[in-house]
C-alpha cells in the first residue's frame, strides 16, 4: 500500500466528486432583452434572458407567474448591424421566486413548446455566434 504526503492511499486520493451535466442541450450565457405575453393576455411585458439553449431559456421577469404557464416570447438581439427577433411559444418549467429578494425580479426556466423552422434557424445561428 502506497501512502502520499497526506497519509492517503493512492486509491483514496483519486476519489472525488464527479458532476455530470444532464442537460440535453448546452447552455450559452447571454444577456438579451425579451418581450413576453401570456397566451390568453394582450399585455406585453419585458424581461431579460440570462442564458439560452436549443431547448429553452433562463429568464428574469418582473411578474410572478405560475408554473406551467404558456408564454408567447420574442427574443430581441443585434447581430452585426441588424436588429433581429426570434419568436416562440414557451412554458414555465421551473421557478425561483426567492430570486425576487436578490435580483429584484423572478427567475424562471422556460422550455420551448413551439418555434417555427425559420425562427429555430435564427436561434441556432445566434447560439453559434455566442459560442465563438
Q: How far apart are CA 80 and CA 48, in angstroms?
A: 20
> Please, are residues 59 and 49 in contact by the beta-carbon 8 Å criterion?
yes
> What's the pTM value of the predicted model, to 2 decimals?
0.77
Q: How far apart are CA 119 and CA 25, in angstroms?
A: 17
pLDDT tens for each residue of 99-115:
666 667 899 999 999 99
* Domain annotation for the chain: domains and CATH numbers: 27-131 (2.40.10.220)
> Please, are residues 131 and 123 in contact by the beta-carbon 8 Å criterion?
no
Backbone angles phi, psi at 115, to 5 degrees: -150, 125
pLDDT band at 23 (very low <50, low <70, confident <90, very high): low
56-65, 103-112, 118-127: the lowest-pLDDT one: 103-112
Amino acid at each position: 500500500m502506497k501512502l502520499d504526503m497526506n497519509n492517503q492511499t493512492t486509491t483514496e486520493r483519486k476519489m472525488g466528486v464527479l458532476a455530470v451535466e444532464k442537460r440535453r442541450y448546452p447552455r450559452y450565457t447571454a444577456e438579451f432583452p425579451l418581450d413576453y405575453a401570456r397566451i390568453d393576455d394582450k399585455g406585453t411585458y419585458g424581461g431579460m434572458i440570462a442564458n439560452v439553449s436549443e431547448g429553452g431559456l433562463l429568464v428574469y421577469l418582473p411578474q410572478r407567474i405560475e408554473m406551467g404557464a404558456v408564454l408567447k416570447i420574442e427574443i430581441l438581439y443585434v447581430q452585426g448591424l441588424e436588429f433581429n427577433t426570434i419568436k416562440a411559444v414557451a412554458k414555465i418549467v421551473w421557478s425561483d421566486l426567492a430570486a425576487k429578494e436578490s435580483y429584484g425580479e423572478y427567475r424562471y426556466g422556460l422550455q420551448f413548446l413551439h418555434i417555427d423552422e425559420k425562427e429555430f434557424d435564427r436561434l441556432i445561428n445566434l447560439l453559434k455566434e455566442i459560442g465563438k
